[in-house]
Structure 1
């Protein structure tokens, strides 16, 4: 009995084995790959915003727009160009196609859908101009398009560092002549009548002779002359209007952004 009491005790160790121990560290790799992908997309977006003009960014947005175009895209010019593969002289709105362009007014007033389609096509053409040269890119900084009750409006406006006219005059700057040529070319897709509206910023009320009426009308008249000199048929010009400073686009009517010209592709042929 004494021999047994001196025997060393038996110790049993139970080791807990966790299955898959060789692979438990793989999940972080998936998360890291997702992070890297997100960062690449972010930096690509930042580069795209910095390397493109406003019109080119609009072209990218239009490319991903869910709206369905009425005309097929060629796909050969890239998403920043987006010119239609259908020849301009073979396309028509409301069955009123004409040689060299389209006139929606023959069959009545253009619908909202037709205006939207024409705006998209004009935006694509303007974007294509932006890729031609730095001069064209600088010109496109002055241009926005919109649809109003009157029709499709191409608005050109002063920038702080680049006015359209010599200060307080109707003498156009070289960039204004370039813009007139661009607008004439893009409006060749239609034969609708065109109106030109002149707007200027407000001046201090202390002026004895306020030039807003004469200046806005004179600048509109200058643009009419530039459009015709660039090739627009004089018969398309329906009216020239000077609106003075009565329709500001900013809260402060004296801001230079209110110096602008609206070239309107009229909804009706009048």
Structure 2
């Protein structure tokens, strides 16, 4: 065997194993990524503090507060509810926005852009009013705003645990006079005529005396009375209407979500 010159040589490979992976381990990459993410968050926070005013910072805080809900649809959504660092300057350049404490929309009020600008201004005013105390802040979950063909619609509705009225009556619970005062203060800054619509949920068809028509009209009238008592001039009111259960917003016609009142800031041609 030893003298067999044709035998193939034996090659032994030795592989060096370094515990922990040395420079080729991945743990440092995870730590570095966490560090970069933290630094980005820090610089973003510093930018927000420098680029926003106190009111806008309050809007950021409210966005992360689950007890505050405001305008889930339309313009003005987002962390600052549309109140970005450039919002006020943009509003002034376009001829809309706050000016001397008034909420207005210059130019034709039938212009959808003007109505959207007014919506943003009303949203901000409602949020500012509600931000004065925790009690007032609890009013906002009852309220949403949207733009329709008639104008800006402010909708106030029942919550499962906090209805606006005692069951099957037009007798308001304590929350509704508080909401009416908020509306009277905010809407006093607007020039529009106002319409109030009442809507209620459906009742079983087997009822002999279905109350939907008189109940929806009575609840709309109750809100009108509360808003006028709170200081809204009666000359602003153009109509008060009960729509019964004819326009449900929830898939279930008997859902409590269909119990709602609408305050409409009417356009000039409506």
TM-score for the superposition, normalised by structure 2: 0.72
What whole-Å deviation, never above 9, does each CA across 1:160-197 have from its counterpart, x for those lacking one? 11110111111111110000111111112211100000
Partner of 1:135, secondary structure, is helix
In 2, Cα distance between equivalents of 1:56 and 1:214: 29
1:214 has 2:214 as partner: yes
1:10 corresponds in structure 2 to none
Change (3 A) 1:267 1:49: same
Match for residue 142 of structure 1? 142
Provide the residue aligned with 2:68 in structure 1: 53
Distance 1:48 1:88, change over 3 A: closer
Shift in Å at residue 85 of structure 1? 6.8
Q: Secondary structure at the match of 2:188?
A: helix
1:157 alignment counterpart? 157
- The answer to whether the Cα contact below 8 Å between 2:245 and 2:253 also exists between their aligned partners in 1 is yes
3-state DSSP class of the match of 2:264? strand
How big is the shift at 1:63? 4.1
Show the 5 A alignment for 1:1-270: 24=23, 28-29=27-28, 31-35=30-34, 38=37, 49-51=64-66, 53-55=68-70, 58=77, 60-63=79-82, 70-71=90-91, 86-88=99-101, 93-94=105-106, 108-268=108-268, 270=270
Residues 105 and 115, structure 2, Cα contact 8 Å, conserved in 1 = no
Distance in 2, matches of 1:262 and 1:56, equals 14
The alpha-carbon deviation at position 128 of structure 1 amounts to: 1.6
How far, CA to CA, are the matches of 1:200 and 1:253 in structure 2? Answer: 9
Q: Any idea what SS the aligned residue of 2:195 has? A: strand
Structure 2 residues not aligned, in runs of 5+? 1-21, 46-59
Q: Output the CA distance in 1 between the equivalents of 2:224 and 2:78.
A: 28
Per-residue Cα deviation, 1:113-141 (whole angstroms, up to 9, x for no partner): 11011100111111222322121121111
- Name the stretch that deviates more: 125-134 or 168-177: 125-134
Q: Contact (CA 8 Å) 2:217, 2:241: kept in 1 or not? A: yes
Q: Per-residue deviation at 1:67?
A: 8.9
- State the alpha-carbon separation in 2 of the partners of residues 250 and 177 from structure 1: 25
TM-aligned CA distance change 1:212 to 1:39, over 3 Å? farther
How far off its partner does 1:228 sit? Answer: 0.8
Query: What is the CA–CA distance in structure 1 between the aligned matches of 2:28 and 2:215, rounded to whole Å?
Result: 67
- Asked if 1 retains the 8 angstrom alpha-carbon contact of 2:71 and 2:144, the reply is no
Work out the CA distance in 1 between the residues paired with 2:162 and 2:217.
21
8 Å contact from structure 1 (residues 196, 224) kept in 2: yes
Distance across 1 between alignment mates of 2:189 and 2:29: 52
